[in-house]
Amino acid sequence: MIIVMKAGTPSVEIERVTEEVCRYEIIPEICQGQHKAVIGLVGETAEIDTRQVQNISPFIEQVIRVKKPFKRASLEFRYGEHSEVAVPTPNGVITFGQNHPLVVVAGPCSVENEEMIVETAHVVKAAGAQFLRGGAYKPRTSPYAFQGHGESALDLLAKAKEATGLGIITEVMDAADLDKIVEVADVVQIGARNMQNFSLLKKVGAIGKAVLLKRGLSATIEDWLMSAEYILAAGNPNVILCERGIRTFDKQYTRNTLDISAIPVLRSLTHLPIMIDPSHATGKSEFVQPMVMASIAAGADSLMIEVHPNPAKALSDGPQSLTLEGFEELMQEMAPLGKFFGRWSK
Amino acid sequence: MIIVMKAGTPSVEIERVTEEVCRYEIIPEICQGQHKAVIGLVGETAEIDTRQVQNISPFIEQVIRVKKPFKRASLEFRYGEHSEVAVPTPNGVITFGQNHPLVVVAGPCSVENEEMIVETAHVVKAAGAQFLRGGAYKPRTSPYAFQGHGESALDLLAKAKEATGLGIITEVMDAADLDKIVEVADVVQIGARNMQNFSLLKKVGAIGKAVLLKRGLSATIEDWLMSAEYILAAGNPNVILCERGIRTFDKQYTRNTLDISAIPVLRSLTHLPIMIDPSHATGKSEFVQPMVMASIAAGADSLMIEVHPNPAKALSDGPQSLTLEGFEELMQEMAPLGKFFGRWSK
Amino acid sequence: MIIVMKAGTPSVEIERVTEEVCRYEIIPEICQGQHKAVIGLVGETAEIDTRQVQNISPFIEQVIRVKKPFKRASLEFRYGEHSEVAVPTPNGVITFGQNHPLVVVAGPCSVENEEMIVETAHVVKAAGAQFLRGGAYKPRTSPYAFQGHGESALDLLAKAKEATGLGIITEVMDAADLDKIVEVADVVQIGARNMQNFSLLKKVGAIGKAVLLKRGLSATIEDWLMSAEYILAAGNPNVILCERGIRTFDKQYTRNTLDISAIPVLRSLTHLPIMIDPSHATGKSEFVQPMVMASIAAGADSLMIEVHPNPAKALSDGPQSLTLEGFEELMQEMAPLGKFFGRWSK
Amino acid sequence: MIIVMKAGTPSVEIERVTEEVCRYEIIPEICQGQHKAVIGLVGETAEIDTRQVQNISPFIEQVIRVKKPFKRASLEFRYGEHSEVAVPTPNGVITFGQNHPLVVVAGPCSVENEEMIVETAHVVKAAGAQFLRGGAYKPRTSPYAFQGHGESALDLLAKAKEATGLGIITEVMDAADLDKIVEVADVVQIGARNMQNFSLLKKVGAIGKAVLLKRGLSATIEDWLMSAEYILAAGNPNVILCERGIRTFDKQYTRNTLDISAIPVLRSLTHLPIMIDPSHATGKSEFVQPMVMASIAAGADSLMIEVHPNPAKALSDGPQSLTLEGFEELMQEMAPLGKFFGRWSK
């Protein structure tokens, strides 16, 4: 349920209403929009009489029930206003959101050694990326496959950050590693296979860093938003959704099927920013460029692209990684399209 | 197997080689590329010694085996040269292909009456469409649902064609109707549910009109190209592939999942032109515009868009149809993007 | 909508009611159950007032609306009474249905030559099968694959029938072949790829032979029953449903995923008999036996099993075919389980 | 790679060989079969020359490479011998495995209060179940749904165990709860949504209790066995696989699609015991009985069935739960079929 306050309502009155509604079994949340404030109520709202709430103050414009099962994640909860996720990085605050330039995240699947990660960071920064991605802890199908260098990889990410000022995005697989990860990471990633690891979602909901929530391999849009809701409900409003391909009946030519229609669908359902990962989706570097272009045209707020100095020798996911030169070329192709849509920085 | 002839080979020599190879149990097919001629051999080629073929003429540059199960449809069969499908319409020849402007096909799901189809034709033509689509025979899940007006709808399409000069695309469901359909249609559509109706594929392979082959609901890329192969093998080289959404585990917010990555995948596998139908894919008119933009950015050669003067009262597929005004607006948004990619006429 | 007549209603009164309801825009259909007669009404029933119908006769027990989109195929349409499909064969009438012994259909994917089909027929008959299956017209993914021997294969099926008295089941792919097929076939099969070839469904709805309707590769239960409805609506009440595996995300160890839960689901929705084809579903002969056992235990009415004298040399689908000895062993294992469930003849 | 020792090899020689192979970068594992011992080698075996290994001892019968990506989980790794998982419970050791009676696990989705769990335990024990299932920590799609009573629910499970002597199976969602859970649980369950939570898999691989590994919603057979491999590789050989329905394109009449063919497929690939959960798979109590019968007929080693004293008032998953009476009836129907297949205790 949300309470839409009239434009120009004094803040003291908003607070009074917020206190008043606490007599119901709910938790109120104020969202100050551009013109109006909205108070979101989450909890046992089914029994609350909307007219009773309406009578609390003459400044209340409207009381509306949120019918979706996801509440805080729903667009209705913010009365149609899209949210922004602002992430401080050494190079300044980078903002993910519909009214901001495209944010480009690039880097290798996993952090392999200092030279490769620092070199990659320099190149992707020069090419225009704002974030460096790189796995320290890798979710691998096989226990015998390279599992990431763990803590020492975090140190290397810190060095790359220091060297370039880029923000860092890396995945958490185990809550026990979270403290170490947040020391380095600016955005903490929940991988596709952990999208419904509800314990972990609650824990990243309690940290002060933004969370990148990848869509599960066969997660419906609703499943995904419910997982975002876990993080929001735990107190962390800074969630970015990342589509990375879904599992369908055809795996012969692409690893997964990139669901680009998720972009407008999410836009109509949620206020959260949307990232696309064409590298994991297609699994082949030659299909990354057209999928990047399509994602921009469909309205993505951010892109995550795998880049490796030597894909043929990558310890993981080589076939889907662009070379450093490949990434530079891609950025040169993206820039005019980003500008065309008014989504390019500078 | 293909025989690549050297640039500048005299045509008499190409013919001689073509005749020579007939001693094998194969059917040769000459494809005259921009620089070189390629002779495609289809049949029992597994046993043929490539060196023996090579020795037929000093003008033979190379003899290459096509490893894909689809032969004529494969890009290799044309030695990497993409094909064009040129369709004569009253307004002139319209060409579908990678090096041509985007072709826009628009119109209602089904032809309902003269007024609606002629009005729609006038509007979509004025807005820039080259083809009018409209169903006379409708494949409906229920036997009790409106099945299309059949033959009389074909007459109405003929009237709309006469009034506007637009090319006509309409679906064939039954080979018995094919003669009547080709009198009016410039492109004959095979619907998703008939993609593996092999009898029908053979029959449209024997007509002189271009064929639009929609992807089946759960057809793999390979299944789809094998169905195209049926048409090509039956002698009709003018096949256009149309992606219209696949069936996945999530149907809550979109009718199907539009597989936009099919565009670059097909481009790497086949020489045939590629159309996208975002209306059937998403099933909701509000998602058509972003999916159109994404399709253009990913490199589609053509778009099929459902348009109806009064979607709320449409006899079929109303929720996914744009209004006439909606279509005009869409075309105004498409034009700059089409120009950006150098794919817009004039 | 159905009209349930009281037990013991004189038939003249049932007829009077049937005539009376014709004043509505509907087609009535009498179904004489064991205790009560039910009159099914199909057509524009939404506007009919059930009380008005109730008043037609004091012998009317109840007037009930069928809410499912499939009407004639629904269990409600027969007021919960399951139907039987009785097929005359030279060896006598074989009945498919819940209260009848399991019907076993066996034979090769395609009819290859006289010797193999007659030998197979003799062996499967001796082992206890009631029907011989064998493809004359084969739906193959590739136009270059063996397409079946067509008309001459029908002659061979006729010989096998004459030699053994077995009923014949064979597939129709093209309505143009239907006349020839019904001369030999006792049950006409619609293949998975033609499940939504609505033109063909209407045509087999007009013949006097039973129809075996295979489930499409990604057909929902409702899609499937709607396709059955096409046949029933065209006047042919003798439809048998055949589950043959659906397309899922995993094809590594089985060709398709056999949906055994379709058996109880269909039983709760429709009165039509249910067949299972474990051979196409699994695609591997070693998995046929356990899937046969599971199907019997789940309540299947019939089984279709691929058998070939020499699977290694089969022209199609060898890996999923049992040898003749394999089939004999399978029947010996099936018999005690069939008896356990009271579903074995003699 | 495995080393098959000749029948009758002295154990001192087996140990000597085991020590010898430690010079390679591998970990050896002795599996004493009924007739022969097999030494499994996991690690960098690609470079090891099998002839060199063969020469270590004249008692070596054969040295074979395991080609599957899952090693310890593969049937080859035990040279075709199926494993048993023996679980001590107050009522005695219960063994899961192909050559043992069916093990029946029953109980509510979640532990709601003492009365209901103890009552349920008494009834399911009396009806013949060996294990009580009940969720203390519940993975729920919504953060606002009942999440299980946690630690206090574990206490209630302990009481039910004490009252009936039944073994306890309950799910772990968070490694932090593992210590408390293993105090009560005899088998620790990994839920479908955590099947690829590799951190958690490693942790349950380090405990001394058996692990029930549910298949992920869209996990391939290979993904699933690779997750089992994580547990085995971490040192816990007692893994039971549980199929609980996969996600397909049709959710209208069943919650998921129960993949019964997974039973014979797994049997051919792995030595691990196989459980089926028809309750979560179908999501409807009326479909549980036929799916139980089918699972037994297909060769399942164990069944997990949801039972609740009052399904209509269950805090979770009511529609798929049997009543206590329903479970008693089911057991009476299962017993004769279990006996038919020689898989029923006593």
* D222–chain C Cβ distance below 8 A for any pair: yes
**The pLDDT of residue B47:** 84
* A294–chain B Cβ distance below 8 A for any pair: yes
Give the model confidence (pLDDT) of D224-279 as tens digits.
Answer: 999 999 999 999 999 999 999 999 999 999 999 999 999 999 999 999 999 999 99
Which residues of chain A are within 8 Å of residue D69 when distances are taken between CB atoms?
A: 141-142
Mean pLDDT across the stretch A158-178? 98
- Nearest by CB to residue C142, choosing from B69, B139, B193, is B69
Q: Which residue of B has its CA nearest to D217?
A: B249
* D249–chain B Cβ distance below 8 A for any pair: yes
Q: How far apart are the C-alpha atoms of A175 and B230, rounded to whole Å?
A: 55
Cβ pair B218:D249 closer than 8 A: yes
**The pLDDT of residue C82:** 95
**The pLDDT of residue D258:** 98
Can you give the three-state secondary structure of A43-89, one letter per residue?
ECCCCCCHHHHHCCCCCEEEEECCCCCCCCCECHHHCCCCCCEEEEE
Domains of chain D in start order, with CATH, are: 2-65 (3.30.70.1140), 85-340 (3.20.20.70)
Task: Assign D47 a pLDDT band (cuts: 50, 70, 90).
Answer: confident
Task: Assign C35 a pLDDT band (cuts: 50, 70, 90).
Answer: confident
Q: How far apart are the C-alpha atoms of A244 and D113, rounded to whole Å?
A: 42
Q: How far apart are the C-alpha atoms of D194 and D241, rounded to whole Å?
A: 14
Alpha-carbon torsion, ordered B317, B322, B324, B325, to 10 deg: 160
Q: How far apart are the C-alpha atoms of B264 and B249, rounded to whole Å?
A: 24
Alpha-carbon torsion, ordered A51, A53, A58, A64, to 10 deg: -80
- Nearest by CB to residue B268, choosing from A258, A268, A286, is A286
Cβ pair A141:D223 closer than 8 A: yes
Residue at token pair 């209403």:
A17
**The pLDDT of residue C42:** 86
Backbone angles phi, psi at D302, to 5 degrees: -160, 155
A32 SS3 class:
strand
Which residues of chain C are within 8 Å of residue A250 when distances are taken between CB atoms?
A: none
How many Cβ atoms are within 10 Å of D121's Cβ, its own excluded? 28
Give the model confidence (pLDDT) of B76-120 as tens digits.
Answer: 999 999 999 999 999 999 999 999 999 999 999 999 999 999 999
Give the model confidence (pLDDT) of D50-60 as tens digits.
Answer: 999 999 999 99
Q: Considering Cα of D335, then D340, then D345, then D346, what sign does the dihedral take?
A: positive
ipTM attached to this prediction: 0.94
The strand pairing partners of B27, in sequence order, are B42
What single-letter DSSP state applies at residue B215? Answer: P
User: Are the C-beta atoms of C120 and C309 separated by less than 8 Å?
Assistant: yes
- Nearest by CB to residue D340, choosing from C248, C253, C340, is C340
Q: Which residue of B has its CA nearest to A282?
A: B261
Which residues of chain D are within 8 Å of residue A69 when distances are taken between CB atoms?
A: 141-142
Cβ pair D221:C269 closer than 8 A: no
Which residues of chain B are within 8 Å of residue D141 when distances are taken between CB atoms?
A: none
Q: How far is B168 from chain C (nearest CA, A)?
A: 22
**The pLDDT of residue B27:** 85
pLDDT at C93 over 90: yes
**The pLDDT of residue A53:** 92
**The pLDDT of residue B191:** 98
* C254–chain A Cβ distance below 8 A for any pair: no
Contacts A–B by Cβ distance under 8 A: 112
Q: Which residue of D has its CA nearest to A191?
A: D197
* D257–chain A Cβ distance below 8 A for any pair: no
Distances (CA, A) of D271 to D76, D82, D85: 8, 4, 10
Flag residues of chain B having pLDDT under 50.
Answer: none
Smallest CA-to-CA distance from A269 within A101, A71, A84 is with A71
Q: How far is B180 from chain D (nearest CA, A)?
A: 37
Chain B: partners with 3+ C-beta pairs within 8 Å? A, C, D
Smallest CA-to-CA distance from D43 within D9, D91, D90, D2 is with D2
Which residues fall within 8 angstroms of residue B244, CB to CB, at 6 or more apart?
Answer: B192, B214, B215, B256, B258, B276, B277, B280, B281, B304
